[in-house]
Amino acid sequence: MKSASYVLQVAGLCKSFGDTPVLKDLSLSLEAGAFACVMGPSGSGKSTFLHLIAGLLTPDAGTVTIAGHELSALSDHDATCFRRRHIGLVFQDFNLVQTLTVHENVTLPLLLDGAEPDRKKIDALLEKLGIAARRDALPATLSGGERQRVAIARACAANPDVILADEPTGNLDSPSARSFCGILKQMNEEVGRTILMVSHDPVIAAYASTVHILKDGRFVDTFDTRHDPAFISERYLKTMK
């Protein structure tokens, strides 16, 4: 029986590419409203981990359960529908559709799901993210920070249970990165959105409440961030020794 208080449960996840094991028996549970960050060296499998959770890759062993649904038990079609409804993805390249406006990009996942977008709700979301004035603009005419906010709006539009963000601030300057994380945190605190983010930057990780350190395919340390970049950095370096 799975505990109802966990929105995301990962159990015994294993993944190899060819003969190379990348993830070895990873488990992680997040309660509703958690804000967690996975840190680890380049190539340690952070993106692979998020892709497995999002159902974009299939694990060799183990299970991913979101809002009580085990992903591997779903057909491809059902998994795609499930993803649109329950998981918000913010990846580094944002994947905005260049020929669609800001508003159209944000409502696209809802339309693909056959849902009627709630115009008031979407407008309120764009307002909250400070991009309402750009609702009819094309992505090519936006700044990097604005594009990032569109990606968050799109990730939030369907009220997902979990937002997965893979190094979402990788291409931003520091002020934009902080403003982006502030928005994520606001979504987490005000709407109780559960967030799992990947970052190698302690300043970014400090927005999360807990850090899970991935090394050699396993979680080797999990701790409360205290929202303190210096503390995170020290602990991270100690773990990497």
59 counts as binding ligand ATP under rule CB under 6 A: no
Name the minimum Å distance from CB 44 to ligand ATP.
4
Binding partner of 173, given Mg ion, ligand ATP, none, CB within 5-8 angstroms per partner class: none
Residues 53-92 that bind Mg ion (CB under 5 A): none
Please select the residue that binds ligand ATP; options are 2, 17, 119, 226, rule is CB under 6 A.
17
* Interaction between residue 22 and ligand ATP (CB under 6 A): yes
Q: Return the one option of ligand ATP, Mg ion, none that residue 43 interacts with (CB less than 5 to 8 A, by type).
A: ligand ATP
Distance CA 116, CA 203 (A): 39
Q: Are 129 and 159 in contact (CB under 8 A)?
A: no
Complex with ligand ATP: residue 87 or 131, whichever CB lies closer: 87
Measure the N-to-C terminal CA separation of the chain; round to a whole number of Å: 39
Please report whether residue 58 would count as binding ligand ATP according to CB under 6 A.
no
* Distance (Å, whole) CA 138 – CA 106: 12
Structure tokens that stand for 208 in this block = 């999360």
Cβ(157)–Cβ(106) under 8 Å?
A: yes
Q: Buried (b) or exposed (e) across 202-224, using 16+ Cβ within 10 A?
A: bbbbbbbbbbbbbbebebeeeee
* Partner whose binding site includes residue 42, from ligand ATP, Mg ion, none (CB under 5 to 8 Å by kind): ligand ATP
Binding site for Mg ion (CB under 5 A): 47
Binding site for ligand ATP (CB under 6 A): 17, 22, 40, 42-48
